[in-house]
Amino acid sequence: MSRQETTSETEIENLIRQFLRLLGEDPDREGLRDTPARVRAAWRYLTRGYGRDPVAEVNHAIFSVDANHMIIVKDIEIYSLCEHHLLPFYGRCHVGYIPNGRVMGVSKLARLADIYARRLQIQERLTNQIAQAVMNTLSPSGVGVVIEARHLCMMMRGVEKQNSAMVTSAMLGNFRNSIATRNEFLQLIGHPAIT
């Protein structure tokens, strides 16, 4: 670890100690003594998407294929942090695309979702970023991304609605222009078709 990284880690831990004091806690008591280091490590892990380049992560796993059928990876678990309250939101991401001579290794779609989810986010932006990354990387005929998530900022505070879920979608290319393509995607991921 470089000197700059060590200084940054120490600053984060000091801020957490100060935050605990401002909450009315004693950061030196037994149960909280190691909390600043644990919180720093947890936040580094939870926001690890900042240190990853989506293009670099997938470029070595793009393959030429003579295929033009829909490819879908569904039920990709995502965990993110709401940028408004720094509380988690979590759920499932479904990604589909129609190749235009190139496909991406199947695990790379999950990696793209994870890279963007592991940043401070809003679900709307996250959905668009994943769709745009697939479009920019593969130049497919179309891309569809649907995310269904539960937000702790809505469940634990504010309106306290425990059973609500937010659904966002981003449709590009054929997924936007063709209702039949969009409906096929939605049906295959288990959502009702649009009539």
Q: Give the mean pLDDT per block of 10 residues along the chain (195 residues).
A: 73 97 97 97 96 90 92 97 97 98 94 97 98 96 98 90 93 97 96 69
Q: From CA 15, how far away is CA 17, in angstroms rounded?
A: 5
**Taking all residues of the chain, what is their mean pLDDT, rounded to a whole number?**
94
Question: Is CATH 1.10.286.10 correct for 3-46?
Answer: yes
Over residues 53-62, the pLDDT tens digits come to: 998 988 889 9
pTM across the whole model: 0.92
- 84, 121 Cβ separation under 8 angstroms: no
Max Cα distance, the chain (Å): 63
pLDDT tens, 166-176? 999 999 999 99
The values of phi and psi at residue 170, to 5°, are -130, 120
What does the pLDDT read at residue 34?
Answer: 97
Q: Which fold has domain 61-188?
A: GTP Cyclohydrolase I, domain 2 (3.30.1130)
40 vs 54: CA distance, rounded Å: 24
35, 27 contact by CB (below 8 A): yes
| 74 bridge partner residues | none
Give the domain ranges of the chain. Answer: 3-46, 61-188
